A and B are shown apart, each in its own frame.
Chain A
Amino acid sequence: MKTDSLHHINLHEVLVKGKQLQAVRAALPLQVISNKELKTLNAENVADVAKHFAGVTVKDYGGIGGLKTVSVRGMGAQHTGVSYDGMIMSDVQSGQIDLSQFTIENVANVSLSNGQPNSLLQPARMFGCSSMLSFSTEKVKYDSEKTLAGNISVKAGSFGMYNSLLYLSKNLSQKWNVNVSANALTANGEYKFMSNLNPLGKNWVEKNRINSDVHSLRTELNSTYQFNSYEYISLKFNQHYSERGLPGSDTYYLSYATERLLDKKYLAQFQYHNRKNCYYQYQFSGKFSNATMKFTETDPKFQTLINRTRIDNYVQSEYYLTTAFQFYPVEKLTFSTSFDWWYNNLFSDSNFGFRQYAAPTRHTGLANIAVKYSTNQLTLTANMLYTSTRETNQNETAAPDRNKLSPTVSLIYKPLENKELRVRVFYKNIYRLPTFNDLYYHDFGHTDLRPEITNQFNTGITYFNTNISFLSELECSLDAYYNRVTDKISVIYGIPFSSVRNIGRVDIKGCDVNFKISKEFNHKSTIRVNASYSYQLAQDYTLNTDTYLDIIPYTPVHSGSGSIAYQTGKWECGYNYLLSGKRFSGQNSNKLNLLKPYMDHSLFARISIKKFSLLAEIINLTNKNYEIVRFYPMPGRNYRFTINYKF
C-alpha cells in the first residue's frame, strides 16, 4: 500500500461526497442536518434543529429564553454530550447544556450520533457519552480574489424579538484565516396562552406569559493557521453574556414571576491537527472555560433579605487537555488511542439561609484505545474507555475515587458490492457521572452516589441510492434498539429535605426511522422531503414501586417530524411539522399527569437576490396551544423575518 494513496482517498471522500454518505456508512447511527437543510427547518436555535432528529426528545420550557435540553432514546438529558466545533461543552453543576442559547445563524451543520461519533481519531471524551449532539460554525474557503468575506443578518419577530449577526472572515494569507462574529438577541418574550383550570375537562382562561425577556450577546474570534493541506492549528475565543427572566411554571390563579438569571461565560481553546502521514496521525487540544451564573428572585416571603431578594451565585471553571493518535500498522487495521484530562471546580454563595453550600472540585482522566478492522464490505470497530475521577470538597466529605472501564463494539456490513445497502449493529456500555448538584447541592447531597449506567444495543439498516431515474437521491435508515439504564440517579423526596440516591432502572425499547428524498428538475429546481419517526417505550422497571412499568416522564411513545422544501431559481419555500404523541408529566402514568399529543406546523419562504436574501417564517401555523413541559406553555402562532447580506 502506498503511503499517499490512502491519504488521498480519505480526503477525496470527505470533500466530494459530503455528509450524506457519512450517515449511511456509520456503524453507530448518525443523523446529519446540513447547512442547506438547516435553513429550511423554521429553526431559531440548535434545539429547534434537534427536534427534527429521530429518537430525540427536546425538553422545551417554551419561549425564546426558555431552557431547552436534548435527551436521546429515553435516556436523560445528562447522557447527551454537546460538542461545539469539535470540543465538548460542559456544565459540571447541572450536567446539561441549554441549547436555547445557540442561534442557528452561522451554524454550518448539526449532527446527532447515537453511542458516539464514528471517528477513531478524536478526544477520549467523545467516547464518554451515551450520545453526542454536535454542531459547528461555517468556515470560509480561501479565495485569492476575495480575502474578506462576511455575513450580516438582521432578524425581527414576534415577542419583540430582534436578533442581529455580524460575521467577518479575513484571509490574512493563504494559510492564515481570522474571523470574528457577534450575535445580539433581545426580546420581551411575552405571549398570551390558554391555561386549563380543569386538567380532566375544559375550563380555559387566557393568561399572559410574563417576565420572559431575554438580552444576550455572543462574540467569537477564531483564528486558523493552515500549515498545509493536512496540518493546522486553530484558536477560539468565545464570550457569552445573557440576562433573562424566567417566567416559571404557570400557577393557577396567580400571575407573578420574578426569577432572573444572569449568565457570563468565557471560553478559550486551541486545536492542533496533523493528518500528514497515513501511518500516523495525531491531534492536541486544550480549553479553558469559565461560567458565572447569578440567580435572583424577589418575593414577599423573603421578608428579611435585602430588597426581599434571594441571590445565588455560582462560578464554575474547566481546564481541559486532550491528545489523540491514530496508527495504521497493517492494511485493514487502524488503531487509535487518546488521553484526556480535565479539572472542574464550582464555587457558590447565597444570601438564602436554607441550604449548605459546597465548593467541590473534580479531576477526570480518560484513556481510550480503539481498533478498527475494515474491508470494502465490512467494518468492525471496538474501543475501551477507562475513566478515573478524584474529587475534593474543601473540608467536607467528597465523592470517592472512581475507576471504570466502558466498552463499545460496532459492526457495519455491506452485503452487496454494488448497492449502498448496509446492515449495522452496536453495543455500548457507558455511564454518566453524578453532577455536582446531585452530589453536593441537593438538600441532602449524597456523596456516595454511583454513576448512572446505560447499556445500548442497536441494530439497523441504511440505504442510499442516487440511481433512481425519477429521484435524484434517496437516503433512509431504520434502527431498532434496546437501552437499559441502571443505578438511575433519582431524587427521593422527604420533609423538609429531599435526597438523591441510585434507585431505579429504566428499559427503553424503540425504533428510529429516517427518510430523505430529493429530486432535481432541469438543474433549476429541487424538491426535498425529509421525514423521521420514532417509537420509544421507556418504562420504569424499578421493582417494588407503584410506578413499575409506567412510562418515564416526558418520553412520548410516538413522535416524528417532517419537512418539504422546494427551491426554484431564486425562490425557496417549505413546510415543517413536529409531532408528539401523549406523554406523562409525572412518574405515574395516570390521567392527571397526561400531556396531550400535539402537532406543530410551520412555513417559510425565502428569496435570494444577488447577495441579499429575505426570509419570512410562520411558526405554529395552526396556533396550537400546547405544552412540552407541564405548565410551561409554548407560544402560539408567531412570525419571523430575516434579511441577510452575504459578501
Chain B
Amino acid sequence: MKTNNFLASFLVSVLAVSFFTACEPTEVIHEMPAVSTGVFVLNSGKWKANNASLTYYDFATNFASADLFLDKNNRGLGDTGQDMIVYGSKLYIAVSTSSIIEVVNAKTGVSIKSIPMLNAAKEPVSPRSLTAANGKVNIVLFDGHVTQLDTTSLTLGTALAVGSNPDGSVIANNKLYVANTGGYNAVKDSTISVINLATFTEEKKITVNLNPQFLKADGYGDVYVISNGDYNLISGKFQRIEAGTNKVTDIAVKAKNFDILGDKLFIYNFDYDANWQATNKNITVYDVKNEKLITETLVTTAIDKTPYCINVNPTTKNIYLGVTDYKNNGKMYCFKEDGTLNFTFTTGLNPIKVVFITK
C-alpha cells in the first residue's frame, strides 16, 4: 500500500509539473489597420535579440500597431533596425546585425524583397544609413563602403570604398555626404566623404571633429554634423560644413541628435546623472538661415526615459521625439511646432527613426 502511495505521489508530481508547463494561452491576433495617412516608426530592438520592429501609427484611428512588419509577413524584421526611408511607394529598411535591406510596400507593409548585404566572401557588411535620389537608394555599409540599390530592378551596384566605419549620411548639393566614424579604431576617424552621385566616385574628404556620426542638410546646402569625440579627452561637437566653401564651423550648442525642417533645426540633448539616468532632457531650436539659437527649451512637458530619435513631419511640422529605457517598449511624443504636446503613442523597443506616409 505504502509503495503505491509513493509511486502515486511521484507520478502526481510529474503530472502536476507537466500540467503547469503545458498550458499555454493561445495568442489573440489583432487585425491590423490598412496603411493610410500616418507614421511608421522603426524600432531598433535590442542587439542580438532579433526584435527590430515596425510600428504604424494611424492618424485617422489614433491606433499604434505593435509590429506591422511581423503581422504582414509572418516574420520579424531581424536584428537591429538601423535606418528607414520612404522613397516612391516603398519603404527601405536597413537592419544592421542581420545585415539585410528590407524593401517593403509602403501602402501594405508587405515585404517586396529582402536583400542580404554580404561582401564577396559572404560576410555581413552591416547597412547603417540610407538616402535616395535619382531612382537609387544609397546604402552606407559599416565595413567602409557605400553601395547603391536600383529601385526598379532591386539589384545592387558595386560598392565604393569610403572611410572607416561610416555611419550617418545625407544628400546635399547633388552629392552624398558620409560620416566616417572610425568607431573601432584606436584613433577614430574625423572625415566626411563627399561622393559625386553622377559618377559615384569619392570627390574629397572634409575634416571635421573626431568621430562624426549624424548628418543633416538645410535648404541652403549647408551640412550639419554631430560628432562624438573620443568619449574621453576630446569631446563631441556640433558643426556646420558651409555649402560651396566646405568651411567647417563649430556651433556652440549641445546636441545629441537633430532634424531639420525649413529654416528650423530641432535638436534634442540630455545629460547623465549619478545614477546614469538621462536628465536635462529638452528640444532646442536653431535657425539655419541666420545661424543662431532661437529657443533653448522648446518643450515644457516632462519627458520620460531617454530620447532616442527626433524627426519632423514636413507636412504638419509636428516634431516626433522617440524615447527609450533600453529594456521595454518605447514611447513616441508628438509635439506641435510651438512645443506643446499633441499626442503620444507606444512604440517597440528603441524607436530609432520616424517616416511619414500620406495616402
Residue numbers of A with Cβ under 8 A of B are 197-201, 203, 248-254, 256, 299-305, 310, 351-354, 356, 444, 468, 470-471, 474, 492-499, 501, 503, 513, 515, 517, 529, 531, 533, 546-547, 557-560, 562, 579-582, 585-588, 591-592, 596-599, 630-631
CB-nearest residue of chain B relative to A258? B123
CA distance A572 to B178 in the complex (A): 69
Nearest Cβ on chain A to B23's Cβ, whole angstroms: 9
Specify which of A197, A494, A580 is in contact with B76 (CB 8 Å cutoff). Answer: A197
In whole angstroms, what is the CA distance A352 to B275 when docked?
28
Write the nearest CB–CB distance from B187 to chain A, whole angstroms. Answer: 7
Q: Residue B27 contacts which of A200, A304, A352, A474 (CB distance < 8 angstroms)?
A: A200
* Distance, CA A630 to CA B50, complexed state (A): 10
Complex CA gap A203/B70 in Å reads: 11
- Which residue in chain A gives the minimum CB-CB distance to B305? A546
Whether A353 touches B27, Cβ cut-off 8 Å, given contacts A251-B50, A301-B126, A494-B306, is no
Q: Is the CB of A353 within 8 A of B185?
A: yes
Query: Which residue from chain A places its CB closest to the CB of B307 in the assembled complex?
Result: A495
Residue pair B21, A353 in contact (C-beta under 8 Å):
no
Chain B residues with CB below 8 A from A501, complex form: 275-276
- The residue in chain A whose Cβ has the minimal distance to the Cβ of B67 is A200
Q: Which of B123-168 contact A (CB under 8 A)?
A: 123-126, 142-144, 164-165
B326's contact among A253, A301, A493, A513, by CB below 8 Å, is which?
Answer: A493
Q: Is the interface of A mostly helix, strand, loop or mixed?
A: loop
A198 and B70 within 8 A (CB): yes
A residues less than 8 Å from B212 (CB atoms): none
In whole angstroms, how far apart are the Cα atoms of A252 and B125 in the complex? 15
User: Are A495 and B308 within 8 A (Cβ)?
Assistant: yes
User: What's the count of A-B pairs with C-beta under 8 Å?
Assistant: 175
Provided the pairs A197-B75, A547-B327 are in contact, do residues A494 and B49 lie with their beta carbons within 8 angstroms?
Answer: no
Given known contacts A203-B75, A496-B228, A547-B327, A254 and B124 CB-to-CB distance under 8 angstroms:
yes
Does A630 contact B21, Cβ atoms closer than 8 Å?
A: no
**Docked-complex contact A588 and B327, CB < 8 angstroms:** yes
**Which residue on A lies nearest to B99, using beta carbons?**
A254
A596 to B22 CA separation, bound complex (whole angstroms): 9
**B359 part of interface (Cβ distance < 8 Å):** no
Whether, in the assembled complex, B199 has its beta carbon less than 8 Å from a beta carbon of chain A, the answer is no
Contact across chains for A256 and B50 when beta carbons are under 8 A apart: no
- Judge whether A558 and B20 touch: CB under 8 Å: yes
Contacts of B327 in A (CB 8 A): 493, 546-547, 586-588
Chain B 42-66 per-residue mask, 1 if CB under 8 angstroms from chain A, else 0: 0000101111000000000000000
Partner of B99, one of A250, A253, A580, A596: A253
Q: Is B316 an interface residue (CB 8 A)?
A: no
Q: Is B315 an interface residue (CB 8 A)?
A: no
Chain B residue total in the interface (Cβ 8 A): 64
Produce 1/0 per residue, B12-23, CB < 8 A to A: 011001101110
Q: Which 8 A-B pairs have the closest CB atoms?
A: A353-B186, A493-B326, A597-B21, A300-B143, A197-B75, A492-B276, A252-B78, A499-B276
CA distance A311 to B70 in the complex (A): 37
Other A-B contacts than A252-B75, A300-B126, A354-B184, 20 sampled, CB-CB below 8 A, are A251-B48, A252-B50, A252-B78, A254-B124, A256-B99, A256-B122, A304-B164, A470-B2, A470-B3, A494-B276, A494-B306, A495-B308, A496-B231, A513-B13, A558-B21, A560-B13, A560-B14, A582-B21, A587-B328, A592-B51
Give the CA-CA distance A310 to B246 in the complex, in Å. Answer: 35
B27 contact set on A, CB distance < 8 A: 200-201, 591
The binding surface of chain B is classed by DSSP as loop
A251-B97, A301-B142 are contacts. A533–B184 as well, Cβ < 8 Å?
no
Nearest A residue to B79 via CB reads A251
Q: List chain B residues, Cβ under 8 A from A496.
A: 228, 231
Residues in chain B within 8 A of chain A (CB atoms): 2-3, 6, 9-10, 13-14, 17-18, 20-22, 24, 27, 46, 48-51, 70, 74-76, 78-79, 95, 97-100, 114, 116, 119, 122-126, 142-144, 164-165, 182-188, 228, 231-232, 272, 275-278, 306, 308, 325-328
Contact assessment for B276 and A631 in the assembled complex, using a CB-CB cutoff below 8 Å: no
In the complex where A474-B6, A533-B17 touch, is A256 in contact with B124 (Cβ < 8 A)?
A: yes
Which of A354, A494, A559, A562 interacts with B272 by CB under 8 Å?
A: A494
A503 to B274, CA, bound (A): 12
Contact across chains for A354 and B74 when beta carbons are under 8 A apart: no
Q: How far is the CA of A252 from the CA of B97 in the complex (A)?
A: 9
Among A547, A558, A631, contact of B49 (Cβ-Cβ < 8 Å): A631
**A546 to B51 Cα, complex, angstroms:** 19
Least Cβ distance of B256 to chain A in Å? 8
Residue of B3, B119, B184, B185 with highest tally of chain A CB at under 10 A? B184
* Residues on the A chain within 8 Å of B2, using CB: 468, 470-471
Could you tell me the distance between the alpha carbons of A499 and B272 in the complex, rounded to whole angstroms?
11
Task: Point out the residues of chain A lying under 8 angstroms from B46, CB to CB.
Answer: 586
Give chain A nearest CB distance to B303 CB in angstroms.
15
Q: Is the CB of A252 within 8 A of B76?
A: yes
Q: Please name all residues of chain A whose beta carbon is closer than 8 Å to the beta carbon of B50 when the two chains form the complex.
A: 199, 250-252, 631
Closest to A199 in B: B76
Tell me, rounded to whole Å, the shortest Cβ–Cβ distance linking B86 to chain A. 22
Measured in the bound complex, the distance between the Cα atoms of B22 and A588 in whole Å is 22
- Specify which chain B residues have a CB less than 8 angstroms from the CB of A356 in the assembled complex: 232
The CA of A517 and the CA of B46, in the complex, are separated in Å by 47
How far, in whole Å, are A496 and B306 apart by their CA atoms in the complex?
A: 12
Rounded to whole angstroms, the CA-CA distance of A560 and B13 in the bound complex is 9
Chain A residues contacting B74 (CB-CB under 8 Å) are 197-198, 201, 203
What are 15 A-B residue pairs whose CB atoms fall within 8 Å in the complex?
A203-B75, A252-B50, A300-B125, A301-B143, A301-B184, A353-B188, A493-B327, A494-B326, A495-B308, A515-B10, A515-B13, A517-B6, A531-B13, A547-B327, A587-B327
Pick the residue among B3, B17, B99, B275 that contacts A492 (CB under 8 A): B275
State how many angstroms separate the Cβ of A515 from the closest Cβ of chain B.
7
Q: Are B231 and A560 in contact (CB under 8 A)?
A: no
**Least CB distance, A51 to chain B, in whole angstroms:** 15
Task: Decide yes or no: A353 and B184 within 8 Å by CB, A513-B13, A599-B21 being known contacts.
Answer: yes
Distance between Cα atoms of A497 and B272 in the complex (Å): 11
The answer to whether B182 touches A304 (Cβ under 8 A) is: yes
Measured CB to CB, the nearest residue on chain A to B14 is A562
Closest CB of chain B to A323's CB: distance in Å?
42
Take A471-B3, A591-B27 as given contacts and tell me if A253 and B100 are in contact as well, using a CB distance cutoff of 8 Å: yes
Is the Cβ of A253 less than 8 Å from the Cβ of B306?
Answer: no
A198: contacting residue among B14, B20, B76, CB under 8 A: B76
The residue on A at minimum CB distance from B71 is A200
Q: Which of A299, A559, A582, A598 is within 8 Å of B123, CB to CB?
A: A299
Q: Who on chain A is nearest to B277 by CB?
A: A492
